[in-house]
Amino acid sequence: MELSGKNTMVVGLGESGLAVVRFLAERGARVRVNDQRDRKGLGAAAAEAEGLGAELVLGGHPASAFEELDLIVVSPGVPALAELDRAEERGVPVVSEVELAARFIEAPIVAITGTNGKSTVTTLIGEMSRCLERPQFIGGNLGRPMIEAAGTDAGGKGGLVIVELSSFQLERVSQMKVHVAVLLNITPDHLDRYPSFDAYAAAKARIFERQDAGDFAVLPADAPDLRELIDDAGTVVLFDGRSGDVRVVDGVLTDTRSSIRVPVEQLRIRGSHNVSNACAAVLAARLIGVRDDDIASVLRDFKGLAHRSQYVRSVDGVEYIDDSKATNVGAAVASIDGLAGSKGKIVLIAGGVDKGGSYQPLRQRMSEEGRAVVVLGEAASLLERAFADSPVEIRRATSMSDAVTHAASLARPGDTVLLAPACSSFDMFRSYAQRGDHFQRAVETLGEQA
């Protein structure tokens, strides 16, 4: 794809958008940037883009800005726009950042998607693959934009690109070919953006576009409905469940096609959902040639990621777990499932910005495993209605510190206080990470008072 002298537009000047501006400018393209935010809202990103020679069109999406273009690159957070549809009707290519990146990457791509567990699995595969002694890029939705791999040794024929991909990033994929594509799960999420669950699932399934028999589609064995999403894909291989190539056998995580045997009790990541994540990572790592001993060693050493079922501390016989990354109902339910069977009950802290799904699955699991729910944020009223007349006690909090105080007063020795909000964080916090940090600080304060 020739970019020099082309008229290009980047829509959305977030982290990936700015990375695309750099990439296009370095290759001699004329770059126009369009963003709903104004210069003040964009801050340093606007100044950097302008310093790279980009023309800025800010504060809206005027139709005139989308004329006489050879290429439009859309950032993941940008919603559907009529201007983009009209540009496509005129024959202008409209692609995502990851699609553009893939067109300049020669290395095999390992990509992980799903509603929950993507970051954990991506990081695990990255750690396992370090022994391959080849240039590597690890990023995507997890961190560094995928476009940063293009033109590097990691993106060359001798490299390896491992990326987490969200549904937003996959919406405009057409030519990206993924050598090992991992789909972990799909549960209702982002229904404030997609017209239906089927539309959301279809976006996830685009990870298999362009695969052939020499590639691999990694899917959970106990979710046949996910296989129905795939029209054309690579060789299907399964993990977890009763028939997965990698699954738990008598308490031991077992790769049935290799020598890998790791007792589940030796894993340092908590919860049954993380055991499933580990199975997926082992399978993907084996498919790209990682040695059995290296895979097993990483499994035993990996402590997990911050704010993902992260043990904080115990206070007065109560464990506190930070799963702030559980930003949808499916993730919160998975977090509860991972704690099921412990001797005590769960006191759940939930709430934030509602994402348009039903809270019924959360109510059901908490009715079985829970003692109380502490709600906060914009979705507090919705959660109170969802849990009305349920067996668990409901309290409303005004802040995270208040929520932890309420939870501590409700919990009994042997219980677990679990932050699994089932909502996004942007009503009260900049990110799920900041929300988790506030939770952990509040828990530490409890410990000092104990």
DSSP H or E segment with residue 72:
strand 71-74
Cβ-in-10-Å burial (0-12, 13-18, 19+) of 435 comes to buried
Specify the residue for token string 């005027």. Answer: 62
Number of Cβ within 10 Å of residue 152's Cβ equals: 15
Torsion on CA atoms 291, 295, 300, 303, rounded to nearest 10: 140
Q: Which tokens sit at 18? A: 């700015």
Q: Quickly tell me which residue has 């990375």 as its tokens.
A: 19
- The one catalytic residue in 34, 116, 118, 345 is 118
Q: Return the residue matching tokens 């963003």.
A: 35
Q: How far apart are CA 11 and CA 19, in angstroms?
A: 12
Other C-beta atoms within 10 Å of 310: how many?
A: 21
Q: Report CA dihedral (357, 319, 301, 237) to the nearest 10 degrees.
A: -30
Could you give the 3-state DSSP secondary structure of residue 58? strand
259 in Cβ contact with 292 (< 8 Å): yes
Residue among 34, 141, 185, 328 flagged as catalytic? 141
Among the listed residues 17, 12, 14, 174, the one whose alpha carbon sits nearest the alpha carbon of residue 81: 12
- State both tokens at 48: 């950097």
Catalytic residue among 116, 179, 185, 190: 190
Backbone angles phi, psi at 64, to 5 degrees: -65, -30
| Residue owning tokens 């530490």 | 444
Round to whole Å and give the CA distance between 391 and 363: 9
Continuous segment of H or E residues that includes residue 161:
strand 160-164
Provide the Cα torsion 115, 117, 118, 122; round to 10°.
Answer: -170
**Cβ atoms < 10 Å from Cβ of 121:** 28
Q: Is 141 annotated as catalytic?
A: yes
Active site residues: 118, 141, 190
